[in-house]
Structure 1
C-alpha cells in the first residue's frame, strides 16, 4: 500500500503503521454500517502481522546515567521500572499510591493492567537496596500530602515522554530507549542472574511464564558468548 510505504519513509515502524491502518479501517467500517458511507474503501483489506522492532533494554550503566540526569519523577520511574518491571504508564505504575506500599513488610501492591488479570493488583516484593530511597520518597510525599508514588509537583503523572527524552539526551544516550524498555530490562537482568522464571513472571503480572521467555528475555552478548563456548570444540583443530 502507498500509505504504508509513506509511513515507512516518515520513519514509523511497521507495527505503528499497521495499527494506524487498522484504526482507519474500523472507522470506515463504522461509516458504512451507519449509512454515512455506501461502502468502506478498505473492506476486504488483509493486513499481515508485522514483526515488532525489539528495542534492546537499557543496561544498568545506562539506567544509572539516565537516573543522574533525570527529573525527580523520572528518577522514580527508572528505579521502580528496573526493580519491579511494572508496565510504565497509567495502566500500572502511574496508578501506584503510597497506600499500596507497605514499607514495614517490604512489599507493594502493584495495580494490574486490564489484560485479563484475575486480581486488581499483585504483590511485588521491594528490593532491599531501594528501601532507603522509598522511605525518603514516602517522607517527602507525606510532607506535601501527595498520594501518588509517581508525580510531578504533587500532581499525578500520565505521561513522561518529554522528560524521558530530555534525560536520555542529557545522559548522552543516542540509541532509542523508551520508558517501557525498563519493563524489558528487569526480567533480562533477573533471568541472567539466575532468577526463577515463574517468580519473575508473577512479579511482572504474567499468568503464563512462556510469555516472559517469548517477549521479554533479551540476551546479553556475554551470555551469547558463553553459549557458543559451552560445548567442547572440534578435536585436533588449531592454528598452524
Structure 2
C-alpha cells in the first residue's frame, strides 16, 4: 500500500497523459489529435506531479493561450481534455484524487462559419486536387461527416451505382446502425461512375483516395484549393456538411428526410446548428406574412 501511495504521489502529468493515450485511446487519429491539443499543457506542466495541478494552473494556461492568440474555444477544449485525463487517472487508480474535478471552465461562444455557396464550391472544385474534388462533390450532395469517421471510410462496395444509392458509414455517436442509406443525386451519378472506373483500374477500394491510398486528412490540400480559388474567408472541409442542409432546406426539402440523409436522429439539430440563415432568406421571412396594409397618402 505504501508503494502504491508513493507511485501516485510521484506520477507526473506527462506520465499520466502517456498512460491515457496508450491505454484509453485506441484509434490512431484520436491519439494524434489529443496529443496535439495536450502538447501546450505538457510544455507548461508536464514535469509537475499530477496531484499538484489544479484550477490555478489551468487558469494560468488559459491566460498564456490568450496571450499567444489561441482562440478561447481551442484553449478551453484543451483544458477539458486535461480534466478528462485526470478523471481517468482517478478511475483507474493512478491518482488518489484530482484537483481538477468540478473545475468550471469558460463557455466560449461558438463561431459560426458561413458554409460555402455553390459558386464557391464550384470555384474550389475547378482548382482542387482529385481527392478534394470528390470530397467537395459528396460533401455538398450528401452532407456526410468529412473525415475518417464517415466519408473517408466509404468504400466502393458500399456504393450501388445501379440503384443510385450508397451506404454511408455512421460515426460512433450513438447511431443504431453501422451505416445509413443515402440516395445519390442524379447529377452526381455520372461522376461517381467515372470515379469507380478509375479506381477499379488500380484496384482501389476507397471512394476518397490519393493515388489508391486511403485518405486520413485533407487539411493542407483543402486550404491550397481555397486559396487557389481566391476565397479569403475561412471555410473548412466540415463546412460542406453545413452547406448541404442549408441548400436543401432553402429549396424546400423535407426536414426529416434531410436529417436521415445526414445521420441525425433528431431533425431539430438541423435547425439549431446546420441551417445558416442567408440574407435572401431573411428578406423572404420578413415579407412572408401579410403586412398592415398601410397606404401613404401623397400629402403625408
TM-score range for the pair, normalised by the shorter chain length:
over 0.9
Q: Residue 189 of structure 1 is aligned with which of 247, 252, 260?
A: 247
Q: Which residue is 1:18 aligned to?
A: 76
- C-alpha deviations, 1:174-222, integer Å up to 9, x for none? 1110000000000000000000000000000001111111111111110
- Greater mean alpha carbon deviation, residues 224-233 or residues 86-95: 224-233
- Greater mean alpha carbon deviation, residues 18-27 or residues 75-84: 18-27
Answering whether residue 160 of structure 2 is matched by residue 160 of structure 1, we say: no
- Greater mean alpha carbon deviation, residues 160-169 or residues 211-220: 211-220
Judging by fraction of residues, say which structure has more helix.
Answer: 2
Q: Residue 99 of structure 1 is aligned with which of 154, 157, 166?
A: 157
Distance (Å, rounded) in 2 between the aligned partners of 1:104 and 1:98: 13
Q: Residue 66 of structure 1 is aligned with which of 124, 129, 142?
A: 124
Q: Residue 138 of structure 2 is aligned with which of 68, 80, 86?
A: 80
- Greater mean alpha carbon deviation, residues 205-214 or residues 80-89: 205-214
Answering whether residue 279 of structure 2 is matched by residue 221 of structure 1, we say: yes
Distance (Å, rounded) in 2 between the aligned partners of 1:124 and 1:219: 25
Q: CA deviation at 1:85?
A: 0.3
Q: Aligned in 2, Cα 1:83/1:34: closer, same or farther, shift over 3 Å?
A: closer
Distance (Å, rounded) in 1 between the aligned partners of 2:297 and 2:79: 56
Q: Which residue is 2:195 aligned to?
A: 137
Distance (Å, rounded) in 2 between the aligned partners of 1:46 and 1:190: 39
Q: Aligned in 2, Cα 1:105/1:20: closer, same or farther, shift over 3 Å?
A: same
- Greater mean alpha carbon deviation, residues 213-222 or residues 227-236: 227-236
TM-score by length of 1: 0.92
Q: CA deviation at 1:16?
A: 2.0
Q: Which residue is 1:206 aligned to?
A: 264
Q: SS in structure 2 opposite 1:199?
A: helix
TM-score by length of 2: 0.75
Query: Does structure 2 conserve the Cα–Cα contact (< 8 Å) formed by 1:107 and 1:125?
Result: yes
Distance (Å, rounded) in 2 between the aligned partners of 1:30 and 1:222: 49
Distance (Å, rounded) in 2 between the aligned partners of 1:118 and 1:35: 33
Distance (Å, rounded) in 1 between the aligned partners of 2:173 and 2:88: 25
Q: Aligned in 2, Cα 1:35/1:69: closer, same or farther, shift over 3 Å?
A: same
Q: Which residue is 1:123 aligned to?
A: 181
- Greater mean alpha carbon deviation, residues 89-98 or residues 38-47: 38-47
Alignment gaps of 5+ in structure 1: none
Query: Does structure 2 conserve the Cα–Cα contact (< 8 Å) formed by 1:14 and 1:52?
Result: no
Q: CA deviation at 1:230?
A: 2.4
Q: CA deviation at 1:34?
A: 6.7
Q: CA deviation at 1:42?
A: 2.9
Q: CA deviation at 1:44?
A: 3.6
Q: SS in structure 2 opposite 1:128?
A: coil
Q: Which has the higher contact order (CA 8 A, sep 6+)?
A: 1
Query: Does structure 2 conserve the Cα–Cα contact (< 8 Å) formed by 1:91 and 1:114?
Result: yes
Q: SS in structure 2 opposite 1:108?
A: strand
Q: SS in structure 1 opposite 2:232?
A: coil
Give the number of aligned pairs.
240
Q: CA deviation at 1:27?
A: 2.8
Q: SS in structure 1 opposite 2:163?
A: coil
Larger radius of gyration: 2
